[in-house]
Amino acid sequence: MTDDPGDHHTVTHLARPHRLAVWVLALALCAGLRPLTADALGAEPSRSAAATQLTTRDAAATRCKKRRGHRRPRLTHVDGDIVGTRYGPVQVRVFFCGRRIVNMVALKDPDDLERSRQIDADALPKLRQQVLAAQSARIDGVSGATYTSAAYKQSLQSALDLA
Partner 1 sequence: MTRLVHTEEVWDTVVSLHLVGPGAEDARDAIVAWVHEVDATLSTFRPESPLARWRRGELELDACPPAVREVLDLAEAARRRTGGAFDPGWAGGRPDPTGLVKGWAADEAVARALACGVEGVQVNAGGDVRTAGSPGEGRPWRLGIEAPGLPGQLLDVVAGAELCLATSGIDRRGAHVYRHGRPARGALSVTVAAPDLARADAYSTAALALGADAPALLDDLDADGFPSLLVRADGEIVASAGWPGLHHGPASRMVGAP
Residues in contact with partner 1 by the rule CB under 8 A: 32-45, 86-87, 104, 111-112, 115-116, 118-120, 122-128, 130-132, 135, 137-149, 151-152, 154-158, 160-162
CB of 71 to partner 1, least distance (A): 27
The nearer residue to partner 1, 1 or 145, going by C-beta atoms, is 145
| Distance between start and end Cα atoms, the chain | 37
Distance CA 139, CA 47 (A): 33
Residue placing its CB nearer to partner 1 in the complex, 54 or 151:
151
Classify burial at 40, counting beta carbons within 10 Å of its beta carbon; exposed 0-12, middle 13-18, buried 19 or more. Answer: buried
Strands 75-79 and 83-85: unpaired
**Residue closer to partner 1 (CB basis): 99 or 117:** 117
Cα–Cα distance between 79 and 50 in angstroms, integer? 15
CB closer to partner 1, 14 vs 41: 41
Run of H or E including 76:
strand 75-79
As measured in angstroms, the least distance from the Cβ of 40 to partner 1 is 6
Q: How far is the CB of 60 from partner 1 (least distance, A)?
A: 13
